[in-house]
Amino acid sequence: MRLAALVLGIDDALTTDMSPSELAGRLALLEERARARAQRGSLLPISGDVDLDLAARERRCRTGPIHLRPKEFGLLALLASHPGRVFTRRELLGQVWGDGDRARSRTVDVHVRWLRSKIEPDPGRPVHLVTARGVGYRFDPPQR
């Protein structure tokens, strides 16, 4: 019976004579593993020691999490989810601010400047959040 369960892909088989404390321990371990898998899948590398946590909606670095404003997070998440792709300001406005919003293209520029101050080693010489002159912006991921 247990062997049949393992063949079907079940990681572990439980017996009927298991103590409640062992069952609780097994459940806690499974929950911890599931959380770790989910978190690994929700992290996007942004720069050397900075990741974007899509699940928690925050920027993480060695010193701890740093909260991003909602539009900053949306802009960075969109760009980082499509590394190397150039987005026009109009595309960014439509996808991050929404079509009904009255935001202007300069709004994108201001938010990019704020993001650069938070993710770039030298915001004056960006290497990750790059301007495509006359078009818009792209995200170049870190080399890890």
User: CATH number of the domain that 90 lies in?
Assistant: 1.10.10.10
Give mean pLDDT, residues 30-36.
66
Range name among 16-30, 81-95, 129-143 with the lowest pLDDT average: 16-30
pLDDT (0 to 100) of residue 78: 93
Q: Of the candidates 136, 85, 142, 90, which has an alpha carbon nearest to the alpha carbon of residue 119? A: 142
- On whether both 73 and 118 belong to a single domain, the answer is yes
Angle at the Cα of 62 (from 125 to 142), degrees rounded to 5?
A: 40
Residue 29 lies in a domain: yes
Give CA–CA dist 138/37, Å, rounded: 28
Count the domains in the chain: 2
Give CA–CA dist 47/141, Å, rounded: 7
pLDDT (0 to 100) of residue 35: 64
Residue 46 lies in a domain: no
- On whether both 74 and 33 belong to a single domain, the answer is no
Residue 84 lies in a domain: yes
- On whether both 27 and 73 belong to a single domain, the answer is no
Residue 75 structural domain:
68-139
Q: What contacts 126, CB < 8 A, 6 or more positions away?
A: 116, 120
Residue 23 lies in a domain: yes
- On whether both 74 and 115 belong to a single domain, the answer is yes
Give mean pLDDT, residues 2-9.
60
- On whether both 134 and 72 belong to a single domain, the answer is yes
Segment 92-133, tens digit of pLDDT: 999 999 865 667 878 999 999 999 998 888 999 999 999 999
Residue 94 lies in a domain: yes
